[in-house]
């Protein structure tokens, strides 16, 4: 029977053996990767800090008010107004209506508000405004009056005009007597609205009759004094110096005017006259 070898305690054990395994070596690629991650973290911190400082600066500037920002802009005094219109209004009328003077700061003008103000005055159909260095450019399109009417304003009877769209307004800038050739409009109701009067309906029918008459029989229009629109849009009644009442329909106006021209010519030849001529019945004409 074999005997186990006895181990001398003086020889030690495996636990007493010194471990000589070294730490794993760091490669160059891993080192560069660590440096790149570290740089990104530092960059993010710097960016956040810059954004915070910028936000604080903007907030502080707005809290202090906008005057420092305005001070940066230099004033541009108004030296000239470049004015164009297709009608009769003048640059002096525009300056007075807008309350502007030469020397005012061009950059301080509220262009949109000035446009709204001009177009609210009735006679101006559309307005275009733009700023240039030391200049204000204004272009207007004006309404064309087709008839006159009277209205009482603040206890005073005033003569107003109306255009094809039914817009009622005071006429400015027309030469003396220029509006006298327009017939007066009767039989319509004026209604007050903000800034003036509500538009009148069916004024396009009145405008078509006057336009056709001026094109085909201008010598007849000269004697027309009043256009009664109480039966619009179907019928119009004209009162002239030669015939008390002339009734037109809105259809085939040129043909009705030719018949009227013949009737008036016959009356002048025979030195007779009629009180009423109804041209609205198509091929039939009723004369009284």
The domains of the chain are located at: 80-142, 145-287
Residue for token pair 């502007």: 100
* Mean pLDDT of the 99-109 span: 93
CATH topology of domain 80-142: Ubiquitin-like (UB roll) (3.10.20)
Residue among 99, 109, 158 nearest 135 (CA): 109
Residue 211's SS3 state is: helix
Render pLDDT for 239-270 as a digit per residue (tens, 0 to 9). Answer: 999 899 999 999 999 999 999 999 999 888 87
CA dist 279 and 252 (Å) reads 10
Give CA–CA dist 175/172, Å, rounded. 9
> Which pLDDT band holds residue 287 (cuts at 50, 70, 90)?
confident
Report the pLDDT value the prediction gives residue 8, as an integer from 0 to 100.
52
CB 230 within 8 A of CB 185: no
pLDDT at 50: 73
Q: By the 8 A CB rule, do 279 and 249 touch?
A: yes
Query: pTM for the full model?
Result: 0.70
Q: What is residue 277's predicted lDDT score, i.e. its pLDDT?
A: 95
What integer pLDDT is reported at residue 162 of this predicted model?
Answer: 97
pLDDT band at 57 (very low <50, low <70, confident <90, very high): low
Tell me which architecture the domain covering 145-287 has in CATH. 3-Layer(aba) Sandwich (3.40)
Q: Which of 30-39, 71-80, 140-149 has the highest mean pLDDT?
A: 140-149
Phi, psi torsion values for 29, nearest 5 degrees = -65, -45
Predicted local distance difference test score (pLDDT) of residue 49: 74
Q: How many CB atoms lie within 10 A of CB 159?
A: 14
What band does 66 get if pLDDT is binned at 50, 70 and 90? very low
């Amino acid at each position: 029977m074999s005997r186990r070898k006895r181990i001398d305690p003086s020889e030690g054990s495996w636990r007493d053996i010194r471990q000589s395994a070294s730490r794993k070596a760091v490669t160059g690629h891993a080192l560069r990767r660590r440096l790149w991650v570290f740089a990104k973290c530092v960059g993010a911190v710097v960016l956040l800090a810059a954004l915070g400082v910028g936000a604080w600066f903007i907030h502080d500037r707005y809290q202090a008010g906008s005057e420092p920002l305005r001070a940066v802009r230099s004033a541009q005094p108004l030296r000239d107004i470049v004015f164009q219109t297709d009608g009769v209004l003048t640059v002096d009328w525009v300056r007075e209506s807008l309350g502007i003077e030469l020397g005012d700061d061009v950059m301080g003008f509220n262009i949109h508000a000035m446009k709204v103000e001009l177009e609210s005055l009735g006679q101006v159909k559309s307005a275009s405004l733009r700023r240039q260095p030391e200049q204000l450019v204004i272009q207007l399109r004006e309404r064309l009056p087709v008839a006159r009417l009277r209205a009482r304003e603040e206890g005073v009877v005033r003569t107003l005009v109306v255009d094809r769209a039914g817009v009622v307004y005071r006429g400015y800038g027309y030469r003396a007597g220029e509006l006298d050739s327009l017939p007066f409009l009767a039989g319509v109701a004026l209604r007050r609205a903000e800034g003036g009067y509500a538009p009148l309906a069916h004024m396009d029918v009145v405008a078509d009759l006057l336009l056709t008459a001026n094109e085909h029989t201008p010598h007849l229009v000269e004697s027309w004094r009043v256009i009664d629109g109480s039966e619009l849009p179907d019928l119009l009644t004209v009162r002239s110096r030669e015939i008390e009442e002339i009734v037109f329909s809105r259809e085939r106006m040129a043909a009705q005017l030719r018949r009227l021209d013949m009737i008036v010519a016959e009356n002048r030849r025979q030195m007779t006259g009629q009180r009423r001529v109804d041209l609205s019945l198509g091929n039939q004409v009723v004369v009284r």
